[in-house]
Each structure stands twice: as structure tokens, then as C-alpha cells.
Amino acid sequence: MPQDYTFAVLGTEDERFKELRKLLRFKWKESEPEHASIVVLPLPFKLTDDILACLRPEHLVFAGKVSDEDKMRAWSAGITLYDYYAREELDILNAVATAEGAIELASRETDITLWRSKILILGYGRVGTALAYRLKGLGACVSVYARSKADKARIDVYGYQNADMTGGLNGYDIIINTVPARIIRRGELSRMRSGALLIDLASAPGGVDFQAAEELGVHAIHALGLPGKVAPRTSAELIRDTIFNMLIELEENVNANRD
């Protein structure tokens, strides 16, 4: 990694970004955007006029969760927004922090140990795999619901129960949803074990009918943005590492084109 970058990190009211600024400062100079070669924009990101006014075509600009609209708008101004949130490695690493946050919640919001508790995880993507692995390590009895035959095979291989869902959500102490689709509706909610906890990790609007949950007295929590909340320092490290990966690849491309 070249040492002569100068970074500007905008948006430091966010805990992660304060940490990110500290981390970058270890190795690089930091400055106002007008003197920086690299600009990191706030997360969550919305391209405002103020931000756009700071950016120059000679900047390398990194942002997270960039909408297509904002990407196009920046593009029209001659600026490429590199979205670190679109990187698979960040997604994979962030899933660990999300899983830890969900475990902390599950531990705090129940009066039982996770050990010996019956837990259902809906979905076996990045967060689902990270969760299942950790909860099993904590001694929980882990069931996972996934639709594809390949995921069912993976669930079998890792020693979790394949939930068949014909019995619905009954029989579980804790249910954690990771599927970004409205799959837990009034019918499912009405068949939950009394006192069970429901945690929804799917991005807004989430996978749970929260109004029905409230009416039915189900203890349901919509937990969003956990990495930034439970582990801002680790989150900042992961963002930094991802930006580094992207910088290295950009340089390799530049060098390859030069040859």
C-alpha cells in the first residue's frame, strides 16, 4: 500500500466513523477534502449538495450503500462513487458483528440460558450461517429454515436441524429472522410459544408483521444496523480493510492498463 494518500473522512458523528478516522490516522495524513486524495463519505449515505460540493473528479471517493440514483448523480458530476458495501468480503465480515449483536440481544431479552434453548433461524445466508455456528457453539439446540436443497444439505452437514415449518414457529424459545421478505405474519405469530422472543434482522421493512406482533403480545424486536451499534471499532476496521482491498485493486488495474 502506498503511503502517500491523504484521507478525508466525512460524517464523524457516527461512532464507526470516529473510529475509522482514528484508524486511518495511524498510517496516513488526514485533511479537509480539498487537500485529500481520498474521500470517505458518511454511512448511511445520502448524496447531498453539500457533499457534492466537496468532491472533485481527481478524488477517489468511497461510500457505503449508495443508491443507483446517487451513483448516477455523482457520475454526471464526473465523480465515481466506489461502494464498499457492495463488496462481498465486507458483507461476510459484517455478518459476524450482526450475529454477535443478535446473540447479545437474545441473551439479554430472555430469562433462560442460550445453552439448551431451542432456537430457530430463518434463512441461511451470511448472517444465518454466522448465527447458527455461534449459537451451536454456545450449546443451543439450533434449527434452521432454508428453502434450497443445497442449503438444506449444508444445514445437515453442519449439524443443525432442518426446520420443516409444518409445525410453524411453535416449539422455539427464540426465533431469529434473516430473510428480507414478509414471511412472519399474523398466522405465524399467533402460533408462537408464549414468552418466546422474536428478533428480526432483515432490513426495513423487515420480515415480521410488527403491528400484528404488538396486538398479539409477541415480544418482537427489529434489530437494525447491529455492527455499528455493538462493535463500532471492529466495524471501522472492516470498512478500512475493505477500502484498502479496493485501493489495491484500483492500483493493480491502473498498473495493468499502463503496461
> Residue numbers of the site for a copy of itself (CB under 8 A)?
15, 19, 87-90, 92-93, 95-97, 100, 103-104, 107-108, 110-116, 130, 133-134, 136-139, 149-150, 152-154, 156-159, 230-234, 245
Would you say 151 or 209 has its CB closer to a copy of itself?
151
Would you say 149 or 258 has its CB closer to a copy of itself?
149
CB of 212 to a copy of itself, least distance (A): 26
Would you say 8 or 230 has its CB closer to a copy of itself?
230
Full DSSP string of 169-220: TTT-SEEEE--SS--B-HHHHHTSPTT-EEEE-SPTT-SB-HHHHHHHT-EE
Would you say 8 or 130 has its CB closer to a copy of itself?
130
For residue 205, cis peptide bond before it (omega within 30 degrees of 0): yes
Report how far residue 198's alpha carbon sits from residue 208's, in angstroms, rounded to the nearest whole number.
9
Helices 232-258 and 15-25, packing angle to 10 deg: 50
CB of 134 to a copy of itself, least distance (A): 6
CB of 38 to a copy of itself, least distance (A): 19
CB of 78 to a copy of itself, least distance (A): 28
Full DSSP string of 51-114: HHHH--TTSEEEESS--HHHHHHHHHTT--EEEGGG-HHHHHHHHHHHHHHHHHHHHHT-SS-S
CB of 50 to a copy of itself, least distance (A): 28
Report how far residue 139's alpha carbon sits from residue 102's, in angstroms, rounded to the nearest whole number.
16
CB of 69 to a copy of itself, least distance (A): 27
Would you say 15 or 30 has its CB closer to a copy of itself?
15
- Terminal CA-to-CA distance of the chain, rounded, Å? 19
Would you say 137 or 167 has its CB closer to a copy of itself?
137
